[in-house]
């Protein structure tokens, strides 16, 4: 009985990924273990391409979510993004709310690293009860950019319009039947949604319709927070960087490289590379510092020259 209660009371972290995101995951998962060595972590499979991902997960004590209703989530994705299989698979992160193993959870996209223990989210959720924590909210243009849906969600539902690359909350805020119904509703307003990633307006729509309290991470932690990588830089030794000092005055428990690729000129490249190579062998590190960066820098130069040539013709 005690074991069952303990299982039902668990907090854990979810990550969405596959072999296509393996470079991101090779930095992200070691960063989780650097700050939360004993945290419960599940990887939600984006699709069946998992051979490299399984090996990485085994090395770091991360479980792969196998028994979720992915067929239903994929179908919801087809309802809202029939033109893009890539976007459809993003809806698998709905497992966090519906049939995942954790009663309290945090979710992160693969293109992130952690700079603080993930248990801070559990502490905040426990103190607030039924709640969804978010970061990167407030910009309706990336969720509900057009009326009449924009005005409805802003004024009636007080939407947070948060970024779907990070959120935390409790399981069971809504049912799978409600999710299906809301998907059909939102499909009628698709032209009024941000369509580059329909999972973002849909997750916001479900949270908004559920009526649950939404709290920014800034309010939950009682200090200014942020998580975008864009525009950030630091001269600190990457091994010494944490959530408090990566940018003084702003607490950044997560760094999110949304819209960026793994390239030599990505922001905070040295910090990302530190975690990418944290658990690598010496030979892997030498290869990465040598061939990988030289190759990527060469591609970057060629790409810039090609663009200039095209523009000049």
pLDDT value at residue 68: 96
What is the pLDDT at residue 296? 57
pLDDT at 280: 80
> What pLDDT, on the 0 to 100 scale, is given for residue 310?
46
**What pTM does this model have?**
0.89
The pLDDT, as a whole number, for residue 295 is 54
Q: Give the pLDDT confidence score for residue 275 in this predicted structure.
A: 97
Q: How far apart are CA 119 and CA 105, in angstroms?
A: 10
Which pLDDT score, from 0 to 100, does residue 50 have? 98
Residues of the chain with pLDDT under 70: 1-8, 287-313
What is the pLDDT, as a whole number, of residue 304?
52
């Amino acid at each position: 009985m005690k074991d069952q209660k303990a299982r039902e009371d668990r907090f854990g972290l979810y990550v969405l990924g596959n072999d296509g995101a393996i470079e991101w995951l090779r930095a992200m998962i070691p960063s989780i273990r650097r700050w939360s060595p004993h945290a419960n972590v599940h990887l939600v499979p984006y699709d069946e391409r998992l051979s490299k991902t399984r090996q990485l997960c085994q090395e770091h004590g991360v479980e792969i979510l196998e028994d979720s209703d992915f067929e239903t989530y994929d179908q919801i994705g087809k309802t809202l993004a029939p033109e893009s299989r890539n976007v459809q698979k993003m809806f698998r992160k709905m497992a966090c709310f519906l049939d995942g193993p954790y009663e309290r959870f945090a979710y992160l996209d693969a293109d992130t690293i952690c700079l603080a223990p993930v248990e801070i989210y559990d502490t905040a959720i426990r103190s607030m009860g039924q709640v969804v924590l978010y970061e990167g909210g407030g910009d309706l243009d990336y969720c509900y950019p057009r009326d009449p849906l924009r005005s409805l969600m802003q004024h009636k539902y007080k939407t947070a319009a948060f970024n779907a690359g990070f959120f935390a909350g409790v399981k069971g805020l809504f049912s799978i039947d409600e999710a299906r119904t809301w998907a059909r509703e939102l499909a009628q307003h698709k032209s009024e949604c941000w369509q580059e990633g329909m999972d973002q307006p849909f997750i916001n729509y479900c949270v908004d319709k559920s009526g649950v309290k939404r709290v920014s991470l800034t309010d939950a932690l009682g200090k200014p927070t942020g998580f975008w990588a864009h525009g950030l830089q630091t001269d600190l030794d990457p091994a010494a960087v944490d959530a408090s000092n990566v940018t003084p005055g702003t607490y950044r428990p997560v760094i999110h490289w949304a819209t960026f690729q793994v390239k030599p000129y990505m922001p905070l490249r040295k910090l990302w590379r530190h975690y990418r190579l944290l658990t690598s062998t010496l030979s892997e590190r030498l290869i990465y510092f040598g061939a990988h960066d030289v190759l990527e820098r060469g591609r970057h130069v060629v790409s810039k020259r090609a663009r200039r040539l095209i523009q000049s013709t």
